[in-house]
Amino acid sequence: MIVRRSAIVGRSASVLFDLIEAAEYYPRFLPWCAGARIVSRDDTLVSADLTVSWLGLDFEMRTRNPKQRPEYMAIHLERGPFRRFEGEWRLAALAPDACKVAFALDYEFDSHFMTLAAGPMFSRITDKLVDAFVRQAMVTPKPRSNEAVPPAVEAPAQTARTDGPIDSGQALRDRQPPE
């Protein structure tokens, strides 16, 4: 399955990148993420263990993700129930307080059973992933000049769909058909 999503966000690329890179905070705002632990992190790479739990289905996975802050992070599976799991986040600054975030993921479960059991659930998760990060960015306080982005805070927010105008501070999703 190939997933591609993007959004225009009223936050800087650095803010979005820091939220995406901070996997240890995923359980605070991603309802399917039951646990997250950073295995290693430096200026060029982050590796994390994630526990996915949704509607009675549970599995664990580890990713090892090369990165270039604030523009890019690759996603590589180290272990988990996938035959294929490769993706990337790309962020492009549009203004000091706006960016375009693009997410792409190509995955396939490693067994027919996992495809049947977890495929529909994982498809919904990946379909809404960009929205979840955009919502979180919008409720995360803007940092003052050169200040690190604070930890993620859980709160509801709305995103704008492509079927309406953009208001300042809302996201516009660019849906691309699956290949």
Residue 12 lies in domain: 2-175
Paired with 48 in beta bridges are 38, 63
- Tens digit of each residue's pLDDT (9 = 90 or more) over 94-153: 999 999 999 999 999 999 988 888 888 888 888 899 999 999 999 988 766 555 554 544
Domain total for the chain?
1
**Which CATH number characterizes residue 84's domain?**
3.30.530.20
The end-to-end CA distance of the chain, in Å, is 8
- Tens digit of each residue's pLDDT (9 = 90 or more) over 9-19: 999 999 999 99
More confident residue, 165 or 62: 62
pTM greater than 0.85: no
**To the nearest 10°, the Cα dihedral for 94, 160, 28, 35?**
-90
Both structure tokens of 4: 């591609």
Which 3-state string (H, E, C) describes the chain? CEEEEEEEECCCHHHHHHHHHCHHHHHHHCCCEEEEEEEEECCCEEEEEEEEEECCEEEEEEEEEEEECCCEEEEEEEECCEEEEEEEEEEEEEECCEEEEEEEEEEEECCHHHHHHHHHHHHHHHHHHHHHHHHHHHHCCCCCCCCCCCCCCCCCCCCECCCCCCCCCCCEEEECCCC
- Tens digit of each residue's pLDDT (9 = 90 or more) over 20-48: 999 999 999 999 999 999 999 999 999 99
